[in-house]
Amino acid sequence: MAIGIALGNWQTRRAEEKIAVAAQSHERGMQAPIVLGGGGGKQQYDRVGSRAHPTYRRVQVTGEFVQSWPVFLDNRPHAGRAGFYLAMPFKIAGSDEHVLVLRGWLPRDPREYGRLPEYATPAGTTTVEGIIVAGAGHVMQLGAAAPIKPGAIVQNLEVEDMARASGLRLAPYFVQQSGPPAPGDALVRDWPAPDTGVDKHRGYAVQWYALAAMAALFFVITGFRSGRKQVE
C-alpha cells in the first residue's frame, strides 16, 4: 500500500511539473523575439551558443539558407497525408555560424515513394522568425539510419549528426519557422503542439493508486477471514 501510494504521488508530482513547464513555455512564446547574431533594440545573442537558449522562445535571425543542404524528415503526416519536414541550415549574417531551421511540412508524392517534393527557397539575405525547439521529434527507426547528405530522406535528425556530415558550425537546437510561406510555396507551417506527457504520468498515477487500493482490499479480506478462523 505504501509503495503504491508513494509511486502514485511521485507520478502526480511529475505531471504537475510538466504542467508548469508547459505554462512556462507558453509564457516564453509570448515574449518579444530574441535576435540571433544581429543588432537592433531587441535582446540578441552575439554568438550562437554564447548563452542559454530557452526552449520555445521566439527568435528572429537574418542571413541566408544553405540551399545545397536540404534534409527531409520522413514519416511526418499532416491532416491525414504522408509527408516530410524540410530541415535546412541557415547561415547567420556577419558570422560563420548556422542554425538548423525546420522550414515546414511538404507532401509526399503517393505515386513515387522516393520522389522529393518541390519547394521554394528565398535567394540571398532574408529574415526568418520562429521558435526554438530542442529537436525535430522522433519516429520509430526500422533498420539502419540513412546517411546524412544533401537531399537525404531520414527518419530522425540530430543537430550533432548534421554538423558532422555538413561540416557546418550549428547551434545546438532547431528553429521551427513560423509565418506564412511565400506565395505558391507548398510548405505548411501548421506545427503540432508539443506533447508534455502529462496524460502519461496521470495514467501511471492511477495505476499505482489502484494497486494500493487492491493491496488494502486484500489486507482487509485476508484479515477478516483470519479473524473468522480464530473465532471458530
**Of all helices (H) and strands (E), which one includes residue 59?**
strand 58-65
149-178 per-position pLDDT tens digit: 999 999 999 999 999 999 999 999 999 999
- 4 and 39 housed in the same domain: no
Cα 99 off chain centre by: 15
Grid coordinates standing for 31? 515574449
**Rounded-to-integer distance, Cα 36 and Cα 48, Å:** 7
pLDDT score of 82 = 92
Strand 83-92 versus strand 97-107 pairing type: antiparallel
* Residue ranges of the chain with per-residue pLDDT less than 50: 39-51
Cα 200 off chain centre by: 17
pTM recorded for the entire structure:
0.70
pLDDT score of 150 = 95
Domain count for the chain, please give it. Answer: 2
pLDDT score of 76 = 93
- 10 and 124 housed in the same domain: no
- 43 and 140 housed in the same domain: yes
Is residue 51 within 8 Å of residue 43, measured between CB atoms? no
pLDDT score of 46 = 44
Percent of the chain with pLDDT over 90: 39
- 113 and 135 housed in the same domain: yes
**Rounded-to-integer distance, Cα 93 and Cα 64, Å:** 7
- 14 and 78 housed in the same domain: no
Cell 527557397, residue located: 121
Residue 149: give the domain boundaries: 31-192
The residue among 170, 173, 151, 153 whose CA lies nearest residue 162 is 170
**Rounded-to-integer distance, Cα 148 and Cα 165, Å:** 6
- 16 and 115 housed in the same domain: no
- 101 and 164 housed in the same domain: yes
Q: Where are the beta strands (DSSP E) in 66-136?
A: 71-73, 83-92, 97-107, 126-133
- 222 and 174 housed in the same domain: no
pLDDT score of 30 = 61
- 226 and 118 housed in the same domain: no
pLDDT score of 176 = 94
- 20 and 67 housed in the same domain: no
- 17 and 72 housed in the same domain: no
Grid coordinates standing for 207? 495505476
C-alpha distances in Å from residue 109, one per residue of 33, 54, 147: 36, 36, 22
- 173 and 91 housed in the same domain: yes
pLDDT score of 40 = 42
